[in-house]
Amino acid sequence: MPGAIDTLLRRLETIGYVTDTDRALLADLPIRIVELGRGEDAASDGNVVSQSCVLLQGFMHRYKVLPDGGRQILAFHTPGEIPDLHSLHLTKMDHSLAATERSTVGFIKHTDISALLERSPNITRLFWRATLIDSAVFRMWMVEMGRRPAVAHLAHLVCEIYTKLHVIGLARNWVFRLPAVQEEIADALGLSAVHTNRTLQDLRARQLIQFEAGNVRILSWPGLVRLALFDPSYLHLREDVQLPEG
């Protein structure tokens, strides 16, 4: 995969500053490129792992399955992110990480990551910061789940994903791919699939989005933002990144 770390770099540069020496160090990281099929786990709940993966192409989600079969999706991840970087210090997975659609990931051994971090305090800070931003997103989701009505929550999720894709250049003109089926969106929102379907129809009826076959078109960004009360500061992006506006 040519420029595997370019994807990682683009993401890192949206949340902090990368020096040239860091760039060189990252380029030297041994990465094993793997193609994951839809729904395939990159890491599974309960397992002790010795590698993390950077998402290069596609879409991933983290999730937890309950004894009764219920599932809660905890996060969606976009290219350049390292969804299971936390496993570097919490080697036993307390949830699973899967490809939402067919995706390309790059596995990096923990030993190689540790060696890299020893050599660059700046990358240490950046990687730590990346895990802290995951944490900030969890907090935001908790607020959405606990205190917001279904439509607003769904609108917020759309705003979040669009913003994340936009800043790495993977979304323009209010169109993007959200390769999740309604049941997955439901599991992310903490709702039933039936109600998620009706909530989507609500958003459509309000002329805020189109959503079909994993393709979203935002019809009114200001309308969505207002409904969602979306404020991107919790994403802790660099002050100089270009946020969506319109």
Question: What is the C-alpha separation between 39 and 76, in angstroms, rounded?
Answer: 13
- Which residues, numbered 69-128, are part of the site for a copy of itself (CB under 8 A)? 70-72, 74, 86, 89-90, 92, 94-95, 118, 121, 124-125, 128
Q: Is 67 in the site for a copy of itself (CB under 8 A)?
A: yes
- Please, what is the minimum distance in Å from the beta carbon of residue 141 to a copy of itself? 6
Core vs surface per residue 74-90: b (16+ CB within 10 A) or e: bbbbbbbbbbbbbbbee
Within 10 A of 47 (CB to CB), how many other CB atoms are there? Answer: 13
Q: Does 145 bind DNA (CB under 7 A)?
A: no
Angle at 234 between CA 229 and CA 239, to 5 degrees: 110
Written as one letter, the residue type at 70 is G
Those residues with Cβ within 8 angstroms of residue 105's Cβ, 6 or more apart along the chain or in another chain: 33, 34, 36, 42, 53, 54, 55, 56, 58, 60, 99
Measured from the CB atom, is 149 or 222 closer to DNA?
A: 149
| Alpha-carbon Rg for the chain in angstroms | 18
Judged by CB under 8 A, does residue 138 bind a copy of itself?
yes
CB of 78 to a copy of itself, least distance (A): 18
Rounded-to-5 percentages of helix, strand, coil across the chain = 45, 20, 35
- Residue 168 binding result from a copy of itself, DNA, none, given CB thresholds of 5 to 8 Å by partner type: none
Per-residue binder mask for a copy of itself (CB under 8 A), 155-174, x = binder: --------------------
State how far the Cα of 105 lies from the Cα of 141, in Å rounded to an integer.
25
Give the interface segment with a copy of itself, choosing from 47-55, 104-112, 135-143, 216-224 (CB under 8 A).
135-143
Q: Which of residues 180-199 bind a copy of itself (CB under 8 A)?
A: 187, 189-190
| DSSP of 216-230 | EEES-HHHHHHHHT-
Give the range of 25-33, 138-146, 160-168, 210-218 binding a copy of itself by CB under 8 A. 138-146
Q: Which stretch binds a copy of itself (CB under 8 A): 100-108, 197-205, 215-223, 230-238?
A: 230-238
By CB under 8 A, tell whether 229 contacts a copy of itself: yes
Q: Is 65 in the site for DNA (CB under 7 A)?
A: no
Residues 200-229 that bind DNA (CB under 7 A): 200-201
| Continuous segment of H or E residues that includes residue 62 | strand 60-65
Footprint of DNA (CB under 7 A): 149-151, 181-183, 190-201
